[in-house]
Structure 1
């Protein structure tokens, strides 16, 4: 029992001081408001696909319906989503359902939680580029 405690205790102490970085997760079609505003009823499927790209969901049971779905879950935050549904009749766009559509720019705001703040760090002397090559004493070729 004592040896088990000795093995577990360092792991618990080490884990308690570490934080876990959670990544941002994006999935789906990224649509901006400017693209969606260009949609007009009467457009062909090809015109819509050229403007918005192919939809994420193509339901085989509803061939006349295209769903553009995008979801964004910031690391450690609440998920956000947008949904645009297009309906076609005889190959032309007949209805645009924007009820659940929000601009991609409103949804996407990546987080930097858990990352060091590099903007506030000073690099000393204001030089942010790579260091120049060093020339050895007595001439010769520079070394990196």
Structure 2
């Protein structure tokens, strides 16, 4: 089961200091969870589980200055050679029905 935001290296490479929050959201999407006490930080969380075993888990935090402009991010993505589609193909069909078209219709 997938939960959270999928973040790719390409997305992170598109982030440039000085981008406003709308521009960051266009590149990264909106974070699933925003902390009202940390408005200058957006956390992108992602977990991929198969039968209660975590296959992939990461957090990327995006930071903004007081004017709401992007400054930097922290966190690392798992192995860059890893392809999300390949991992999803290994999951049982009932766990991959979210965001995929059934093949047995």
Fold match by TM threshold 0.5: yes
Aligned residues: 90
Q: Distance in 2 between matches of 1:104 and 1:49?
A: 22
Residue matched to 2:72: 95
Q: Distance in 2 between matches of 1:100 and 1:88?
A: 18
Residue matched to 2:55: 79
Give the TM-score normalised by structure 1.
0.54
Match among 41, 62, 69 for residue 65 of structure 1 = 41
Structure of greater Rg: 1
Would the alpha carbon gap of residues 73 and 44 (structure 1) be closer, same or farther in structure 2, given more than 3 Å must change? same
Point out where structure 1 has 5 or more consecutive residues left out of the alignment.
Answer: 1-24, 115-144
Which has a greater percent of strand?
Answer: 2
Residue matched to 2:4: 28
Would the alpha carbon gap of residues 76 and 40 (structure 1) be closer, same or farther in structure 2, given more than 3 Å must change? same
Q: Which has the higher contact order (CA 8 A, sep 6+)?
A: 2
Point out where structure 2 has 5 or more consecutive residues left out of the alignment.
Answer: 94-105
Cα drift, residue 83 of structure 1: 1.2
The CA RMSD over aligned residues, in Å, is 2.6
Residue matched to 1:55: 31
